Amino acid sequence: MRTQEIASTIAPDLIALRRELHQIPELGMSLPLTQQAVVDALKGLDLEVTLGKSLSSVVAVLRGRGGAGSSAATGAGGGRPVVLLRGDMDALPVTEDLSLDFVSRHEGLMHACGHDLHVAGLVGAARILHELRDELEGDAVFMFQPGEEGPGGAKPMIDEGLLEAAGRRVDAAYALHVYSSEHPLGMWFGRPGPLMAAADEIKVRVVGEGGHGSQPFRAKDPIPVACEIVVALQTLVTRQFNVFDPVVITVGKFAGGTKDNIIPDDAVFEATVRSLSEVARAEVARKIELLSTQLAEAHGLTAEVEYLPGYPVTVNDDAEYAFAKDTIIDLFGADRYTHQRDPEMGSEDFSFVGQLVPSAYVNLSACPAADFDAAPDNHSPRADFDDSVVPDGAALLAELALRRLAQLNAGSPSS
Ligand SMILES: [Zn+2]
């Protein structure tokens, strides 16, 4: 394929960019050095580049010249289709424990989730499509996103007009993620439907009345009540939710009291709540509140429940996923694709895009080790990513945009 040929020509540049980014990992929503590196890498391409206002995002629009009613003739592109390609850019507060000659120069920070490969891959896709823009039958929006690891850059980018960046609404969106373990190098994997969980947080405060530990009947002890709620939450999960629409509640923090013989006024705990459907997500939020407040009330105490919504469920649109999978097999061969049986209970804020636009998210192994099962996972200080897969990522994203725009331009709703 032309996309792959161009990808292999520009591979040295893309790998050099990845290694440059790897040395300057930045955290969260403000990634000034990374943003500048992206802007520099896109220089010389005929793109409309917009920088984020509330975060250091980069949005670039490429106007295709292919097909009937090309952008060249109609200016902003008339009613022509638009696809979005996304790469997240942020790193993690991890101290790198790898001996690379391009190891992190920012103390305590590391590209331990491979987002440096995503940025290089997306720059590659922009360069490939720029070269093929006479065949591009619509416009491509390149989304360089901060804050995927938190607090979430996709939502503010959408609020700042991401999905209308080309002057028309995005019709389809694609993203990929690299893995440092679990599959052999170069293997693509994924699944249609739910791919990653919604991740919300609850904070519960059980309010009683402090007193002397020797006379609990004269106080209202919040500790056993908070303990009872924590245990009851696990019963709630198994008795009130369908095992085929799973929910995970993990209490990761529990605090109350100061000394063995003092009953405190209150006890608090915090939990992460994961779900794989918006139905289960809404139900678990409602039921946690009900269970906490009523269990406290049964003991003559009260409970205050704070529910903090995080990222939604990442759902692969069936048709878009089938299209992405077919494109992978067409480009790389059937032995480079494997079906992912189960979703993951991790989360991803590309889900905010997926809620608004039919989308597909695929995974790619960048594991350099032959024993991929034993290799350190993403987020480990020893997570190692083989950047020889960056050109493959670039080629796939470019190919998805080329093919999907041609389909959409021909009036096909999906593949
Ligand atoms: Zn990641």
Contact 111, 37 (CB under 8 A): no
- 386 Cα: distance to centroid of ligand 1 (angstroms): 15
**243 CA to centre of ligand 1 in angstroms:** 27
Please give the distance, rounded to the nearest whole angstrom, from the Cα atom of residue 72 to the centre of ligand 1: 37
pLDDT (tens digit per residue) in 360-402:
999 999 999 999 999 999 999 999 999 999 999 999 999 999 9
Classify 46 in phi/psi space as left (phi over 0), alpha (psi -120 to 50) or beta.
Answer: beta
SS3 308: strand
pLDDT score at 197: 97
C-alpha span between 270 and 282 (Å, rounded): 18
- The rounded Å distance from CA 302 to ligand 1 centre is 39
Average pLDDT over residues 19-24: 98
Distance 94 CA to ligand 1 centre (A): 13
Which DSSP letter does residue 134 get? T
Separation of CA 149 and ligand 1 centre (Å): 7
pLDDT of 150 strictly over 80: yes
Distance 344 CA to ligand 1 centre (A): 13
Query: According to the model, what pLDDT value does residue 412 have?
Result: 65
Q: What is the pLDDT at residue 79?
A: 82
Mean pLDDT of 182-197: 97
Contacts of 375 (CB under 8 A, 6+ apart): 180, 181, 182, 367, 368, 369, 384
Q: Is 226 exposed, middle or buried (0-12, 13-18, 19+ CB in 10 A)?
A: buried
pLDDT beyond 60 at 73: no
Q: Which residues surround ligand 1, an ion (CB under 5 A)?
A: 113
CA of 86 to the centre of ligand 1 (A): 12
CA of 58 to the centre of ligand 1 (A): 18
With b for 16 or more beta-carbon neighbours within 10 A and e for fewer, the 126-161 pattern comes to bbbbbbbbeebbbbbbbbbbbbbbbebbbbbbbebe
Confidence check: pLDDT of 16 > 60 = yes
Q: How far is CA 165 from CA 30, 65, 103, in A?
A: 21, 17, 35
pLDDT at 75: 47
Higher pLDDT, 89 or 69: 89
pLDDT score recorded for residue 69: 61
For residue 176, report the distance from its CA to the centre of ligand 1, in Å: 10
Query: Separation of 235 CA from ligand 1 center, angstroms?
Result: 32
pTM: 0.92
The pair of structure tokens assigned to 152 is 């979430």
What's the gap in Å between 92 CA and the centre of ligand 1?
9
Using the mean position of ligand 1's atoms as its centre, give its distance from the Cα of residue 268 in Å. Answer: 31
- Separation of CA 362 and ligand 1 centre (Å): 12
pLDDT cut 90: percent of the chain above it: 95
Ligand 1 centroid–CA 367 distance in Å is 14
Q: How far apart are the C-alpha atoms of 191 and 66, rounded to whole Å?
A: 31
CA of 62 to the centre of ligand 1 (A): 26
Q: Averaged over 225-232, what is the pLDDT?
A: 98
| Per-residue model confidence (pLDDT) at position 78 | 62
- What's the CA gap between 7 and 341, in Å, rounded? 30
Tell me the CA distances in angstroms from 272 to 280, 286, 316, one per residue in order: 14, 15, 23
Instruction: Output the CA–CA distances (angstroms, integers) from residue 86 to 115, 144, 252, 276, in the order listed.
Output: 11, 6, 32, 22
Distance CA 131, CA 239 (A): 57
Q: How many angstroms separate the alpha carbon of residue 153 from the centre of ligand 1?
A: 13
Q: Ligand 1 centre from 88 Cα, in Å?
A: 8
- Measured in Å, residue 87 CA sits from the centre of ligand 1 at 10
- For ligand 1, the distance from its centroid to the CA atom of residue 140, given in whole angstroms, is 23
